[in-house]
Structure 1
Amino acid sequence: MSGSLAQRQQLAGLGAQQAHASRQLRTQAAAGRPGRCRLACAAAGGDREVTLLDYGAGNVRSVRNAIRKLGYSIKEVESAADIAAADKLVFPGVGAFGQAMHILQQRGYVEALRDYIHADRPFMGICLGMQLLFEGSEESGGCEGLALVPGRVTHFDTTKGLPVPHIGWNDLIIKHPSALLSQVADRRVYFVHSYHATPSPENAEWVLATSDYGGEFVAAVQRGNVCATQFHPEKSGAAGLDILRSFLDPQFAAAGAAQAAPSSRPRGLAKRVIACLDVRANDNGDLVVTKGDQYDVRESGSTNEVRNLGKPVELAGRYFDEGADEVTFLNITGFRDFPLGDLPMLEVLRQASEGVFVPLTVGGGIREFTDGSGKHYSALQVAAEYFRSGADKVSIGSDAVLAVEQYLASGKQKDGSTAIEQISRVYGAQAVVVSIDPKRVWVADPANTTHHCVKSSKTGPNGEQWCWWQCTVKGGREGRDVDAVQLAQAVEDLGAGEILLNCIDCDGVGQGFDIELVAAVSDAVTIPVIASSGAGAPEHFSEVFQKTRAAAALAAGIFHRREVPIAAVKDHLNESGIPARTA
């Protein structure tokens, strides 16, 4: 991202305002569980050095953290000469194909990269860092790549009925033995992408592994010392760190276990189980994870204190250990004037990403604002700082509703001004989640409203059989004249890559997800939908996956209070024939 350096300089002044909160969080982290990490990590190795090509877009902090956890130091690429001098080069590509190639060309890196790879020197590309090795892509209106691997990158076919982007944990189909993947065995890895390369006779000598999503696509390539993965090893838990270590340490790779035979578990893309942490400041100014019923987070009785279910960094680490497929932080503090300075979610992300190697999403305050000194920050600048601090995705709530109202009022014209459009254009649709907070509205006759109605299996207070779901803003306190299906379709058109679908009526009740709502929205869009609100038992997860097209399901309170272990949910899903990641 060409403007990222200037953005970082502009945002650097926020650091002093984060200092107190940073010290508080680090004190919390120091008091956390000893020996939490169960990953096989190398000891610090003196002068072992990895050169990292970070061109300024997206979350590269997780890659840095993974490399350091494995005992290696990092040298940043600042010129083409740094590429030529590298002993081991890691290229984590994030964002859009066209913009990435533009930046590489602008900085004079293209020929240096080609020369390095042609010389068969140790290279690892990640996600877009793999796609750029191909001849070109139809993304960004069509553009040329590094032309090192035969073939072009194309968009997934949405007519096959699968949500796009392809987000989640999928199996690998190993095409030939390789030390790089010797430690993977039967474990899934994490993908997040809308574009893919297709295996062909022309690139067969390169293709190391494929995966399946409505057809076979290239998941990893290797020739000699050059390798790249479409999936994110730094977000693939223990399996991903083993892959990174196999690249960095040939002795570890050579000692890797033989490929295990496929197990009897359900194969393919796993349904994701996501742990959500509602984070806010309590009355003493301390950050806590809280949870409430219908969005009320205060204890009843005389104390009326903010409900405290734990510390955010510590809980995130616990959920990683327990097998959560993703962790979502929702900043629900009532800040409105200064989202980057009022609460240290940036520091929460920085610390969580040091030990949590699954995707992190953050919501709350992802919008444009003007601080007390009159300095203006765009939504893109705010999102950029969250990405640089460790977020893989940002979640936009109330501002998405307001953007859709403007979009509908203009006759569905897009002008590029919304936060969804800005962030999606630079970081890709997969980086933008829209959080919808709807509540059920009963109607006697669907002809009485212009909103999308369904005939419900329940009845309303006056015997109504039809309902629609009204979108809300301000934490559910204010309803708007936009329904959930309408909003979902609009944000998909604006560039969102995923929908987090809450339900005010079901929140905290523990009687299951609103199946009718989830079905209505997931049937109306081609992007993945995360079901949220209402989970109280493992059976609620299998029900929403069996009865709707939801790609993931999210829970908070039942995990915080240890009422339902994440492992119990995963075991139940697999026993029900629903693919779930268990390793």
Structure 2
Amino acid sequence: MATLASCCGLPAQLGAQSGSPRRTRALKATAPSRSRAIGTLACEREVTLLDYGAGNVRSVRNAIKRCGFAIKEVESAADIANAERLVFPGVGAFGQAMDILEKRGYTQALKDYIQADRPFLGVCLGMQLLFEGSEESGGCEGLGLIPGMVTHFDTSLGLPVPHIGWNDLLQKRPSGLLSHVGDRRVYFVHSYHATPSPENAGWVLATSEYGGEFVAAVQRGNVCATQFHPEKSGAVGLDIMRSFLDPQFAAQQAEAAAPNGRPRGLAKRVIACLDVRANDNGDLVVTKGDQYDVRETGSTGEVRNLGKPVELAGRYFEEGADEVTFLNITGFRDFPLGDLPMLEVLRQASEGVFVPLTVGGGIREFTDAAGRHYSALQVAAEYFRSGADKVSIGSDAVFAVEEYLARSGAKDGSTAIEQISRVYGAQAVVISIDPKRVYVASPEVTTHFTVKTSKPGPNGEQYCWWQCTVKGGREGRDVDAVQLAKAVEDLGAGEILLNCIDNDGVGQGFDCELVGAVSDAVTIPVIASSGAGAPEHFSEVFQKTRAAAALAAGIFHRREVPITAVKEHLNSSGIPARTA
């Protein structure tokens, strides 16, 4: 079956590279010390995987293999009909997914399989497609197996959309699929949802709450599906996968435990960030700087080395990070699809890290030395296929917004944000903003969005705005952070990673004035970044702003503040955080 890389027109030799076992010196530096037996488990049990070529299906594959099952690919409608167990992960837009299923002749075979009550697990869009239709993609029909329409979350309620993060389940009836979940949260990332109703009550297994009750899981007989991502829900998600794949495992699980009194609802996410860079020896290392300077002071001036990317990502997964973000700040960007070490970092990390992975650096269109042109969508496709759940766009988002503003806010479909969002959904596109403070005497002296600050400027200025920068903070542009955030939301971004050059590496807390200004201006989730030095800094930014998540790097790398300590502090402060 064709992969998304081939669907998007990636050259054949690139696809061959992405699956090859090649290693460079930089690649060897990232290899984990533990055995890679996960993907080579000898087993007789088999799962048929319906991968129609959208998004990060690698994580689903890895989860299935971790559960001890081999995978058979769907290459024809007959493979669906002959499946013993069928898993249908869905990532992307509703309309495009239905078009692909129809073009490949899978639609009727899929309906027949499900209507025959054969073992089926749909994930995210793989659940939504079972309903009658969706508002997404301008409105289109689904498979029509479950009564009801899939609709967009109501942004007028003041909640960030997409709904991203770890939320509770309210189980409606007993089921082996969820019997072991108890009060553990699972991971959601979606802008559209199905609503429980009397007509679909026979299907609804569990709901969740986000501005109202929505369908989180369905089951009837051997057919089940989840709006959340089991393959990204850590240990509990792997248990859910095992329960579907192995009924004996499900039967051995205890009934769900009652809630333990912790804060309920969508958890505030704690994200571990890894700045990845090639050092002077050509090895990929995790580094960290102050105000973006990652070299040691003194005579050596070497790139600061805090560890190997894959090993650190695995450690953060075990320690309870809700997401892991890789920001590639090395100088490969002249040929991002030739950056095999970073692609391999994603592949290796996704084998043992079952929470969302974001990657940033070089996600843009480019032309290689041979004159071959690659679109931003083609570049993003290769990263998704290598294990990324989301891609982060930095400097190129600023340039795109400058052009967007020059067109008086008209969208023309040319930006990387629009291209990737259209195929993979808004939730797959994160915009990384790198702003710095500019102090002014009064709001009247600038056209930019200003706030009255509690931290006056060097000459006693009472107001400031935040100038967006590019090229790793080295160049300022005439765009402010609030202006950029509103523009990228309109272009189709689903999340904002909000850094702060002034606070980076200082350890005195997040810039809550900046985070508050940006999170109040948009309806998409905002991740606060730069400045964390203690657990109290996380609770402060969540209490003072609408931030959906907070990110840290150095304090986690150096073990100055454990992730568990942050989670425990948040819950004790009445702020919901995932602890299991």
Could you tell me the TM-score, scaled by structure 1's length?
0.97
Match of 1:417 in 2: 414
Distance 1:42 1:472 in 2: 42
Q: What is the distance in 1 between the residues matched to 2:227 and 2:84?
A: 23
Equivalent of residue 79 in structure 2, options 69, 79, 82:
82
Whole-angstrom distance in 2 between the partners of 1:505 and 1:18: 41
* Structure 1 runs not aligned, ≥5 long: none
How many angstroms does 1:387 deviate by? 0.3
Partners of 1:309 and 1:292 lie apart in 2 by 11
Aligned to 2:230: 233
Identity of matched residues, %: 81
Q: Please give the residue correspondences for 1:160-309 in structure 2 after superposition, counting only pairs within 5 Å.
A: 160-309=157-306
2:432 matched residue in structure 1: 435
CA distance in 1, matches of 2:306, 2:22: 19
- TM alignment of 1:548-559, pairs within 5 A: 548-559=545-556
Aligned to 1:32: 33
Deviation per residue, 1:487-544 (Å, 9 max, x gap): 0000000000000000000000000000000000000000000000000000000000
Distance in 1 of aligned mates of 2:214 and 2:277: 42
Q: Of the candidates 427, 431, 453, which is equivalent to residue 450 of structure 2?
A: 453
What is the match of residue 399 of structure 2?
402
Take 2:505 and 2:403, find their aligned partners in 1: how far apart are those partners? Answer: 32
Note the C-alpha offset of 1:29: 5.9
State how far apart, in whole Å, the 2-side matches of 1:17 and 1:2 are.
Answer: 12
CA contact 2:535–2:566 (8 Å) conserved in 1? yes
The superposition leaves residues 6-35 of structure 1 with CA deviations (integer Å, 9 ceiling, x where unpaired) of 447516337559979735466456653579
Instruction: Assess if the C-alpha contact under 8 Å between 1:42 and 1:71 holds in 2.
Output: no
Name the residue aligned to 2:96.
99
- TM-superposition CA deviations, 1:192-218 (whole Å, max 9, x none): 000000000000000000000000000
Residue 340 of structure 1 and its aligned partner are, at CA, apart by 1.6
* Contact preservation (8 Å) 1:502, 1:533: yes
Deviation of 1:342 (Å): 3.9
Q: Which amino acid is the alignment partner of residue 22 of structure 1?
A: R
Q: CA deviation at 1:45?
A: 6.0
The worse-fitting range, judged by mean Cα deviation, of 525-534 and 177-186 is 177-186
The residue aligned with 1:123 is 120
Deviation at 1:288, TM superposition (A): 0.2
User: Once the two structures are superposed, what CA deviation does each residue of 1:390-421 show, in whole Å capped at 9, x if it has no partner?
Assistant: 00000000000000000000010000000000
Instruction: Tell me, in whole angstroms, the C-alpha distance in 2 between the residues paired with 1:359 and 1:204.
Output: 31
User: Is the deviation greater in 526-535 or in 24-33?
Assistant: 24-33
In 2, Cα distance between the equivalents of 1:472 and 1:320? Answer: 31
Cα distance 1:17–1:317, how it changes in 2: closer, same or farther (>3 A)?
closer
Matches within 5 A, 1:132-151: 132-151=129-148
Distance 2:32 2:210 in 1: 43
Q: How far apart in 2 are the matches of 1:204 and 1:255? A: 27
- Structure 1 counterpart of 2:442, one-letter code: D
Alpha-carbon distance between aligned partners in 1 of 2:465 and 2:220, rounded to the nearest angstrom: 54
Assess if the C-alpha contact under 8 Å between 2:380 and 2:420 holds in 1.
Answer: yes
Q: SS state of the match for residue 180, structure 1?
A: coil
* 1:503 maps onto 2:505 in alignment: no
The C-alpha deviation readout for 1:337-392, integer Å capped at 9, x for no partner, is 11121462111100000000000000000000111111110000000000000000
Aligned to 2:540: 543
**Conservation of the 8 A alpha-carbon contact between 1:18 and 1:341:** no
Q: Distance in 2 between matches of 1:17 and 1:45?
A: 24
Q: What is residue 571 of structure 1 aligned with on the other side?
A: 568
Q: Distance in 2 between matches of 1:5 and 1:18?
A: 13
Q: CA deviation at 1:236?
A: 0.1
Q: 1:12 is matched by which residue type in structure 2?
A: Q
Matched residue of 2:260: which SS? coil
Q: Deviations over 1:429-461 (max 9, x none)?
A: 000000000000000010000000000011101
In the aligned structure 2, how far is the partner of 1:340 from the partner of 1:501?
Answer: 26
Which residue identity does 1:148 align to in structure 2? L
Task: Provide the C-alpha distance between the structure 1 equivalents of 2:208 and 2:26, rounded to a whole number of angstroms.
Answer: 39
CA contact (8 A) 2:361 2:392 kept: yes
AA in 2 matched with 1:266: P
Q: Does 1:474 align with 2:471?
A: yes
Q: Which amino acid aligns with 1:289?
A: V
Alpha-carbon distance in 2 for matches of 1:228, 1:34: 32
Counterpart-to-counterpart distance in 1, 2:301 and 2:500: 24
Indicate if the aligned counterparts of 2:18 and 2:386 stay in contact, CA closer than 8 A: no
2:31–2:348 CA contact under 8 A, matched in 1: no
Alignment size in residue pairs: 579
| Alignment correspondent of 1:337 | 334
Report SS of the residue matched to 2:502: coil
Indicate if the aligned counterparts of 1:439 and 1:503 stay in contact, CA closer than 8 A.
yes
CA RMSD in angstroms comes to: 1.9
Compare 554-563 and 10-19 and name the one that shifted more.
10-19
Task: Compute the displacement of 1:46 (Å).
Answer: 2.6
Q: Following the alignment from structure 1 to structure 2, what is the Cα–Cα distance between the partners of residues 538 and 569?
A: 5
